[in-house]
A and B are shown apart, each in its own frame.
Chain A
């Protein structure tokens, strides 16, 4: 019976050898496996002659198989053959039990020899059954591996595709950013265009004063000379005083025009992003008038009550003045637009009114631009801060005004913009900026 144990050893060695063929470790294991396989054959032929007792021989064969299994299992090279090796365990166990039983109690064995023999053959057969299933499993595994490789190729392709798309998107984002920068510049220029007439008017006024006061001062000097010639020193001194006052007025209006030109240049220039202590009341007032005259110049029928309510105790606050100026200009332009629209639709006794006020509240300053215009419909309240959203007819608004204002106030100045609007009654834009 023990012949099957040897057959098992021989077949195991040959099978392993065949499996390792064409692998890198074949050279290493060719000889040892041959030795194990043929060793089993030699043992069967030689040891069988030496040991007369079949039972002892059976145990020796089982121990030889156990030794081979123990040896192979210790080797990492045979790790993947675990199933095959374990398939031999039952054979070892059954062989030892059968032979030991025979040695100890032969009668008992004889009585149940059918059972013992079939157990032995079943253990032997189990090796092949297990091998067949493991082959199937290996085939399955191979199939899975192939599929995995296919998938990996696919994943690599997809990854390459996505990387390409990502790069393209980054390129697009860059383009968008530069377009945005251009748009901001265009928006600045567009609002400057709206202002041109207002600026012209605002410069014309002080210039007129400069011209008029210098002309009249020349006349006064002639008169003064006449009075001095007459000897009326008192009158001459009075005239000299007037001249002095006039020169002061000339200076004042000259500076006013200068300030307007400077403001205009600042408005169109790219933002320096440098925060400087600024008098909010002054820039609010300046842009308030510019916005008004800008709209007036376009439509002469337009008129509005301009109300200013400035907190005279307002300290200088650190802001990028041309940016905040643009925000205010935008708010004013919107307010005037709103009251103008309402005036055009209802007319009659309607009195357009736009008010700007500043106020310190705790550690913040609040700038409110309030109009009694058409108001913002609830349906669009959420959208008005979005870029390119505009209710103006095509070509009149860029839709960037409020969106840029939001960026300037909220992102760059850590403030916020609130809107209080009732359709048909008016709108208030409340800008809050931190004092420090």
Chain B
């Protein structure tokens, strides 16, 4: 299962790789990373069919996670559409509502609860 993580913080990458160390070793999941919405869209142009799940931060300079979500839903409607989970430090209702309106499948708040995330992955 290929997962794309979009976050402007570079250190998110080793964190995910280590948190999912076992799963990666067992070839249950595979990670790719993008540091901005623009980079993520570029990546998806070629590989949207491979990616099952997109985890995206909302607060990023330039294209925000919400904009990225909108683009994903507009540009890649061919079934099966990727599952998109939004991640944000601002876990308020307005943010949540906006993400859900734009077509997010789930909404996670920072700090990420990786055990919860793993549980969610199992149901995909």
Q: Once the chains are docked, how many angstroms separate the CA of A129 from the CA of B115?
A: 127
**Contact segment of A261-269, A300-308, A413-421:** A300-308
B11 on the interface (CB 8 Å rule)?
Answer: yes
When the two chains form their complex, are residues A216 and B59 in contact, meaning their CB atoms are under 8 A apart? no
When the two chains form their complex, are residues A212 and B21 in contact, meaning their CB atoms are under 8 A apart? no
When the two chains form their complex, are residues A205 and B9 in contact, meaning their CB atoms are under 8 A apart? yes
Question: Which residue of A216, A300, A304 is within 8 Å of B90 (Cβ)?
Answer: A300
Which residues from B are CB-within-8-Å of A220? Answer: 18, 21
When the two chains form their complex, are residues B59 and A253 in contact, meaning their CB atoms are under 8 A apart? no
Nearest-Cβ distance from residue B70 to partner chain A, whole angstroms: 12
Q: Once the chains are docked, how many angstroms separate the CA of A251 from the CA of B67?
A: 33
Q: Once the chains are docked, how many angstroms separate the CA of A207 from the CA of B110?
A: 10
A422 on the interface (CB 8 Å rule)?
Answer: no
Interface residues on B, range: 20 to 34
Residues B45-87 near A (CB distance < 8 A): 59, 61-64, 67
A370 on the interface (CB 8 Å rule)?
Answer: no
Taken residue by residue from 366 to 409, chain A's Cβ proximity to chain B (1 for < 8 Å, 0 otherwise) reads as 00000000000000000000000000000000000000000000
Residues B1-60 near A (CB distance < 8 A): 9, 11, 14-15, 18-19, 21, 59
B121 on the interface (CB 8 Å rule)?
Answer: no
**Contact segment of A134-142, A171-179, A242-250:** A242-250
Nearest-Cβ distance from residue A250 to partner chain B, whole angstroms: 10
Interface residues on A, range: 20 to 34
Q: Once the chains are docked, how many angstroms separate the CA of A245 from the CA of B17?
A: 13
Nearest-Cβ distance from residue B56 to partner chain A, whole angstroms: 14
Q: Once the chains are docked, how many angstroms separate the CA of A204 from the CA of B59?
A: 13
When the two chains form their complex, are residues B67 and A216 in contact, meaning their CB atoms are under 8 A apart? no
Q: List 26 A-B contacts (CB under 8 A).
A: A201-B59, A201-B89, A201-B90, A205-B9, A205-B89, A205-B110, A212-B19, A212-B114, A213-B11, A216-B15, A216-B19, A219-B18, A220-B18, A223-B21, A246-B14, A249-B11, A253-B11, A292-B61, A293-B59, A296-B59, A297-B90, A300-B94, A300-B98, A303-B67, A305-B62, A306-B61
